[in-house]
Every structure is written in structure tokens, then in C-alpha cells.
């Protein structure tokens, strides 16, 4: 694992409280009882959504609320967080017992990093960090991305199938950071389930997972 001072250089922010950065990089499989990055992840998730929403509000003044929501959903998604985490080689700094870090660990650590900067330097420093890391990604979304659930619904109805049905299978985790498992049911296909930090996110992840399982002849 690289020295965390290298991460500070990478994100162009020097922590006043180095313990916050260390905590942000500590995965739950290393330490329990609030000595890991779960709570910072919870905070960072909200800070990121607020800052991105503000950027979109001022950058896309002709967008409807629905279009802004689709942009926001894409930019704060696990995939976007993972890509941002990889862009700063965050996997080199995460303290974990896992030999290979999956996308979930990386995206969670990215949120925790944002939360730690917010606590250490306030909203202005958090905005600077997010502007820096998400700038190119925001610019790349010239048109509002279509919600994956909408894409899947159009795909199903276009083939004269019934609308996809989403069912909550279970809810795990602590009250402040629940994990929902949702299944998706489309006639003629096997059920597929996925997890998320909210019911909406779990449904989106299930829809993505379903689309990924289709081979080319079904997608076209």
C-alpha cells in the first residue's frame, strides 16, 4: 500500500486531520465498531449528490427536472464512482484484507474520501475535489442519459412483453446504511437479483444486470 501522502498529492488536498484520511481508506473487513469507512461513505454519498446536483442545476438550465435526475443518477452511480476511483489509483491506498479489491470496495472508498474531505475542510473543499474528479465526466454527458429502467421497459414493451416487475427480497445492514436486495421478473426470462443502498438503486442495478445477461440477438 502506498503512503497516503501520495493520495493527498493526487487529489491536491492536504488533510489537517490525517486520521480522517486513514479512516476513509479503512475497509470494514479490517476494523469494526465505527473504526472503518462506513460512516464516512454514508456522508460522502450525500455530499456528492448535493454538489453534483448544484453543478447540474447551473450547467444545464434548459433541462427538465427529469433530465437533471437522469444525469445525477448516472454521475453518482457505482460505475461512475468506480471510474473516478481508478483514475486516482485509489486501490493503491485502501486498507483491506481482500487480495483483490472489487468495484464496490473502490466506489465506497471514493464516497468515504469525499466525506473525509468535507469533515476536514468543509463544503468548499469538497466542491473543489468533486469539480476536479468529476469535471470531464460531467462534460461528457452532453445529452441526458436515459434511465436504465426506462431502457429496459422500452425493450420489453417493444417485444410485446409485460412491463418488468421489481420485488424487494430482503433488507440487510445497519439502519444508517441498509442494503436492499431486489429481483427483476420479465416473462420468458430467469429472475435476476441485485443489491443497492436504496430500493431505487437496487432496482437500477438489477436492470443493468439483466441487460448485461442478454446476448446480442436479444438486445437488438
Q: Indicate which residues carry an active-site annotation.
A: 45, 111
C-alpha cell at 159: 417485444
| Residues in Cβ contact with 14 at an 8 Å cutoff, skipping those fewer than 6 apart | 8
Which residues share a beta bridge with 172? 179
C-alpha cell at 7: 493520495
For 202-213, letters b (16+ CB in 10 Å) and e give bbbbbbbebeee
Greatest CA span in the chain, whole angstroms? 59
Amino acid at each position: 500500500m502506498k503512503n497516503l501522502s501520495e493520495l493527498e498529492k493526487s487529489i491536491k488536498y492536504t488533510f489537517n486531520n490525517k486520521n480522517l484520511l486513514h479512516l476513509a481508506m479503512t475497509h470494514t473487513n479490517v476494523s469494526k465498531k465505527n473504526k472503518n469507512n462506513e460512516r464516512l461513505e454514508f456522508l460522502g454519498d450525500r455530499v456528492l449528490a448535493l454538489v453534483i446536483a448544484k453543478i447540474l442545476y447551473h450547467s444545464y438550465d434548459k433541462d427538465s427536472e427529469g433530465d437533471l435526475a437522469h444525469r445525477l443518477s448516472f454521475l453518482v452511480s457505482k460505475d461512475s464512482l468506480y471510474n473516478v476511483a481508478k483514475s486516482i489509483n485509489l486501490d493503491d491506498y485502501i486498507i483491506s484484507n481482500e487480495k483483490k479489491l472489487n468495484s464496490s470496495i473502490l466506489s465506497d472508498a471514493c464516497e468515504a474520501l469525499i466525506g473525509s474531505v468535507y469533515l476536514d475542510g468543509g463544503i468548499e473543499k469538497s466542491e473543489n475535489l468533486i469539480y476536479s474528479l468529476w469535471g470531464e465526466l460531467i462534460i461528457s454527458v452532453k445529452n441526458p442519459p436515459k434511465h436504465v429502467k426506462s431502457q429496459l421497459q422500452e425493450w420489453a414493451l417493444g417485444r410485446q412483453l409485460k412491463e418488468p416487475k421489481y420485488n424487494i427480497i430482503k433488507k440487510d445492514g445497519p439502519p444508517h446504511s441498509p442494503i436492499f436486495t431486489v429481483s427483476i421478473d420479465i416473462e420468458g426470462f430467469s429472475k435476476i437479483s441485485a443489491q443497492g443502498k436504496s430500493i431505487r438503486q437496487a432496482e437500477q442495478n438489477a436492470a443493468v444486470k439483466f441487460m448485461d445477461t442478454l446476448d446480442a440477438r436479444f438486445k437488438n
